């Protein structure tokens, strides 16, 4: 609907009355015929009540205690056990049909977990047997404490890479393997302590500082570094750099060309092609998930047989060698709690703890959404943390929920966490009886397995979506990606966190401010740039602030509002329109205000008053209105300083102007 010269439009109001807009230019002026509502204060509460409400919103948004209401003491005890140990929820209903499904999925992921465990341990520069140890104890503990039915627990590539790179910067795993092992177990202990503390204290929002955009870049960069590191095995290079940056890795690859082995090259790239082909088949046809799930173990068995048969001729192909048989030996005596390397263990544990926790919870929630059930983030933190603490005392290193293992578990038809128990049982049989079979397993095949596993972390489609939707998110993705590639994996993670925090600070300190106009025929006021049909109101400028008003943005908002006013006066003068008289501040989206924000409003009113301009507040929400009232700032605004809606403000003030002689 357009507005012509000297035309009057009727605008319907919320209460059924009408509002007239009179224009002598291409604008609209409401003439009120409506009831003006008083802005109410929220119900009065004591300081203790406010604090209690605020803390419950921060730490207990899911209200975990609601299930205990109106229950008997016995039921409360049972519900508490079910909350702490989710196995008590599904165990009473368990049957043979569920066991059959879990048996199939458990054995399927075991075929993937065994070769992956050995490979990831080598990626962390740890003895290969630790990968199997870490696929035995942690899954058993998670099956008791975890709330996800489909999470496949064990070592993961990114945490293994980060642990290996951080520890290797200070300690040589070849020159001092015992100290290196102590650091790995201690870092795992601190990772678990940090993770479980977040869950117990309900501080899970801390990991939200790793945004999806920065994680996409970080994972892609780490995947490329992991893949390039495997060139050592694929090419048969003996003297290889310990650095993780892309430049020294590539220099090392081409500098040691004389060490390249055609046997390793042929064997490695043959199995890499086989593994990538099976992965492609499973991606194209999800029903054939078992093809890619069985491929790693098949590769290990075939390559082991091949190397055994050619053991007298293939001297240049490095093999795993002897792996000890038996259960996890205790390692609590190897935990390192004092000495010059304690800070290194703490730092490594914190970084790997954050990464593994982020991956585990994200994977668990992904598959829970597909089956329409909920995963409790805080319980997951406690479960993952406690299994890592227990793991550090039983010769395990950092473990979490693996995406590849969980995807296979889900597609294989897992129904409960019993699939993890079945997998652990298969690993147990391997540890007790099958370890000699891995003696001739070539390292080159383990490298091919790692490359196949991490190539899925390069999500170019997500990066392209970031570019299309949010350029700032894409920039954050690029920064974390190149930070990992060219600086280091830990610093790349630091860059990712720093960019996420910077983005939050940017949004808080530089919030959006908009100029609103009236949608013809309605009482609605909206952004002039978004709605071209929206009309300016003569003598008014209506501004909206889309954030809380805090100390961090109060100065900026004052300067930006005054700039809006100056630009409006210049526009009015240039177009010979009605003189600006009133500024309406729509506070609908202002969810909170502090004392600095209140002082800013007070200062802004004084500045505008000196210029014969009226400042009016529209629709301040409950807690904002309460603070404005307690600060006595409303007294300075007068009777016509605060309104329930923008429409009522425009109508009432316009009416008072017409009533003046």
Tokens of 300: 């290990």
407: which residues sit within 8 A by CB, 6+ positions away?
Answer: 289, 367
| Domain boundaries defined on the chain | 95-318+325-501, 510-657
The whole-number pLDDT of residue 212 equals 82
pLDDT in tens, 177-208: 999 999 999 999 999 999 999 988 888 777 77
Q: What is the mean pLDDT of the chain?
A: 86
Q: Is a pLDDT exceeding 90 seen at residue 74?
A: no
Helix residue spans in 230-376 (DSSP H): 231-235, 246-255, 262-284, 289-309, 342-370
Measured from the Cβ of residue 576, the count of other Cβ atoms closer than 10 Å reads: 7
Find the mean pLDDT for residues 614-619. Answer: 93
The whole-number pLDDT of residue 378 equals 85
Q: Is a pLDDT exceeding 70 seen at residue 515?
A: yes
Spatial distance between the Cα atoms of 452 and 429, rounded to a whole number of angstroms: 26
The whole-number pLDDT of residue 640 equals 77
* Least confident segment among 26-40, 317-331, 486-500, 548-562: 26-40
Q: Is a pLDDT exceeding 80 seen at residue 261?
A: yes
Domain 510-657 belongs in CATH node 3.40.1190.10: no
Q: Is a pLDDT exceeding 90 seen at residue 563?
A: yes
Per the DSSP assignment, residues forming a β-bridge with 319 are 442
The whole-number pLDDT of residue 569 equals 93
Q: What confidence tier does 394 reach under pLDDT thresholds 50, 70, 90?
A: very high
The whole-number pLDDT of residue 657 equals 85
CA distances from residue 474 to 162, 388, 462, 481, 511 in whole angstroms, order as listed: 23, 34, 10, 10, 20
**Which H or E run includes 188?**
helix 177-200
- In a 13 Å sphere around the CA of 552, the CA atoms on its Cβ side amount to 11
148: which residues sit within 8 A by CB, 6+ positions away?
Answer: 364, 367, 368, 375, 380, 401, 417
The whole-number pLDDT of residue 33 equals 55
Radius of gyration of the chain, Cα coordinates, nearest whole angstrom:
32
pLDDT in tens, 220-247: 888 898 888 888 888 888 777 777 788 8
Looking only at the bridges linking them, the beta strands covering 540-545 and 582-586 are parallel
pTM: predicted TM-score of the whole model, two decimal places: 0.78
CB 308 within 8 A of CB 440: yes
Polymer length in residues for the chain: 661
Find the mean pLDDT for residues 442-457. Answer: 87
Tokens of 96: 């043979």
The whole-number pLDDT of residue 606 equals 93
Q: Is a pLDDT exceeding 70 seen at residue 358?
A: yes
Of 470, 206, 471, the closest CA to residue 354 belongs to 206
Tokens of 347: 């730092």
CB 376 within 8 A of CB 67: no
Of 427 and 640, the structure prediction assigns the larger pLDDT to 427
Dihedral-angle region of residue 154 (phi above 0 means left; psi in -120 to 50 means alpha; beta otherwise)? left
| SS3 state of residue 153 | strand
Q: Is a pLDDT exceeding 70 seen at residue 304?
A: yes
Spatial distance between the Cα atoms of 244 and 166, rounded to a whole number of angstroms: 10
Q: Is a pLDDT exceeding 90 seen at residue 294?
A: no
pLDDT in tens, 2-47: 333 233 333 334 333 433 333 433 444 444 456 788 887 788 888 8
CB 54 within 8 A of CB 42: no
Tokens of 516: 């609103």
Spatial distance between the Cα atoms of 593 and 602, rounded to a whole number of angstroms: 13
Per the DSSP assignment, residues forming a β-bridge with 253 are none
Spatial distance between the Cα atoms of 570 and 555, rounded to a whole number of angstroms: 23
What is the residue-wise DSSP string for 396-458?
----EEEHHHHHHHHHTT--STHHHHHHHHHHHHIIIIIGGGGTT-BHHHHHHHHHHHHGGG-
């Amino acid at each position: 609907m357009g507005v012509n010269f000297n035309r009057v439009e009727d605008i319907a109001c919320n209460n059924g009355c009408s509002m007239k807009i009179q224009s002598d230019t291409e604008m609209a002026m409401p003439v009120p015929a409506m009831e003006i509502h008083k802005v109410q204060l929220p119900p009065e509460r004591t300081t203790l009540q406010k604090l209690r409400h605020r803390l419950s919103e921060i730490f207990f948004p899911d209200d975990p205690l609601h299930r205990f209401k109106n229950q008997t003491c016995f039921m409360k005890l049972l519900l508490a056990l079910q909350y702490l140990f989710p196995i008590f929820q599904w165990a009473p209903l368990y049957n043979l049909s569920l066991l059959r499904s879990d048996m199939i999925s458990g054995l399927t992921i075991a075929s993937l977990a065994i070769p992956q465990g050995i490979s990831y341990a080598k990626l962390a520069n740890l003895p290969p047997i630790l990968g199997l140890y870490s696929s035995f104890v942690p899954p058993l503990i998670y099956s008791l404490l975890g709330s996800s039915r489909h999470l496949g627990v064990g070592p993961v590539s990114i945490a293994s890479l980060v642990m290996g790179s951080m520890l290797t910067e200070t300690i040589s795993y070849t020159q001092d393997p015992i100290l290196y092992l102590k650091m790995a177990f201690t870092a795992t202990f601190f990772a678990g302590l940090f993770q479980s503390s977040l869950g117990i204290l309900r501080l899970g929002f801390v990991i939200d500082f790793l945004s999806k955009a920065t994680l996409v870049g970080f994972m892609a960069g780490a995947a490329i570094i992991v893949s390039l590191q495997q060139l050592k095995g694929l090419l048969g290079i003996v003297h290889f750099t310990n650095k993780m940056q892309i430049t020294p890795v590539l220099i090392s690859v081409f500098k040691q060309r004389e060490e390249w082995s055609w046997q390793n090259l042929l064997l490695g790239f043959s199995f890499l092609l086989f593994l990538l082909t099976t992965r492609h088949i499973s991606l194209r046809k999800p029903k054939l998930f078992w093809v890619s799930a069985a491929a790693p173990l098949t590769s290990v068995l075939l390559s082991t047989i091949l190397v055994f048969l050619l053991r007298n001729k293939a001297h240049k192909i490095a093999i795993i060698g002897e792996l000890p048989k038996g259960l996890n030996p205790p390692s609590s005596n190897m935990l390192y709690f004092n000495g010059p390397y304690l800070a290194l263990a703490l730092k490594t544990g914190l970084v790997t703890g954050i990464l593994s926790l982020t991956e585990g919870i994200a994977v668990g929630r992904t598959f829970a959404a597909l089956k329409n059930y909920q995963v409790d983030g805080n319980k997951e933190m406690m479960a993952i943390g406690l299994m890592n603490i227990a793991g550090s005392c039983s010769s395990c290193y950092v473990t979490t929920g693996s995406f590849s293992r969980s995807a296979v578990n889900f597609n294989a038809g897992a129904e409960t966490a019993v699939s993890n128990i079945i997998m652990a049982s298969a690993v147990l049989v391997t540890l007790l009886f099958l370890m000699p079979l891995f003696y001739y397993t070539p390292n080159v095949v383990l490298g091919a397995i790692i490359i196949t596993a991490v190539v899925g972390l390069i999500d170019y489609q997500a990066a392209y979506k970031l570019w299309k939707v949010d350029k700032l998110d894409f920039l954050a993705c690029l920064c974390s990606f190149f930070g990992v590639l060219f600086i280091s994996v830990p610093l790349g993670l630091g860059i990712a966190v720093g960019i996420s925090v910077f983005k939050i600070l940017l949004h808080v300190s530089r919030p959006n401010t908009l100029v609103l106009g009236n949608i013809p025929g309605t009482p609605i006021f909206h952004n002039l740039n978004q709605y071209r049909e929206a009309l300016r109101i003569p003598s008014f400028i209506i501004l909206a602030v889309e954030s809380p008003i805090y100390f961090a943005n109060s100065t900026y908002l004052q300067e930006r509002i005054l700039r809006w006013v100056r630009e409006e006066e210049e526009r009015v003068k240039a177009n010979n329109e009605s003189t600006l008289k009133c500024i309406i501040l729509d506070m609908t989206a202002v969810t909170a205000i502090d004392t600095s924000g209140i002082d800013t409003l007070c200062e802004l009113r004084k500045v505008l008053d000196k210029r014969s301009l009226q400042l009016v507040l529209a629709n301040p929400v409950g807690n904002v209105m309460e603070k404005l009232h307690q600060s006595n700032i409303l007294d300075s605004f007068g009777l016509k300083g605060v309104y329930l809606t923008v429409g009522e403000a425009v109508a009432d003030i316009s009416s008072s102007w017409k009533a003046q002689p």
